[in-house]
């Protein structure tokens, strides 16, 4: 007698995306110093028919949300968790910019550990190339 294989959360998500006929989902990663380039990449990917998710906050620019250093650090932790969730949701990662910092390097490693393809606007900065 065969038993049904346990369905992982990843398999359930893939099945739901297929049942909903969702377009390819791309998550944009990179240093927030490249926010204008991320907006341009978003435009190109959207024009190509892809769903795009990207960083929604730039922690390098002054803002009242980041005035208190303790709250700012807690916000960074929450945003990092949120971005990893975006990577899990996505079918592919697009790294924008000609610089890879520690956070982006960690996101690339995380995406690759999940088996997500990683594409670069500047392939020469690929840490695994």
All structural domains of the chain, each given as residue ranges with its CATH number in brackets, are: 22-125 (3.40.50.450)
**Spatial separation of the C-alpha atoms in residues 87 and 117, rounded to whole Å:** 11
pLDDT of residue 3: 65
Asked whether residue 13 carries a pLDDT value surpassing 60, the answer given is yes
Asked whether residue 58 carries a pLDDT value surpassing 80, the answer given is no
pTM score, whole prediction = 0.88
């Amino acid at each position: 007698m065969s038993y049904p294989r346990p369905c992982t959360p990843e398999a359930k998500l893939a099945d739901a995306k297929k049942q909903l006929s969702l377009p390819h989902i791309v998550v944009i990663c990179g240093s927030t110093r490249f926010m204008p380039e991320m907006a341009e990449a978003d435009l190109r990917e959207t024009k190509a028919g892809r769903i795009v998710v990207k960083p929604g906050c730039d922690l390098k620019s002054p803002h009242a949300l980041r005035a208190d250093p303790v709250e700012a650090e807690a916000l960074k932790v929450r945003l990092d968790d949120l971005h990893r969730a975006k990577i899990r949701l996505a079918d592919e990662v697009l790294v924008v910019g000609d610089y890879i910092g520690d956070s982006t390097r960690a996101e690339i490693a995380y995406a690759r550990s999940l088996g997500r393809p990683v594409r670069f606007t500047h392939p020469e900065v690929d840490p695994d190339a």
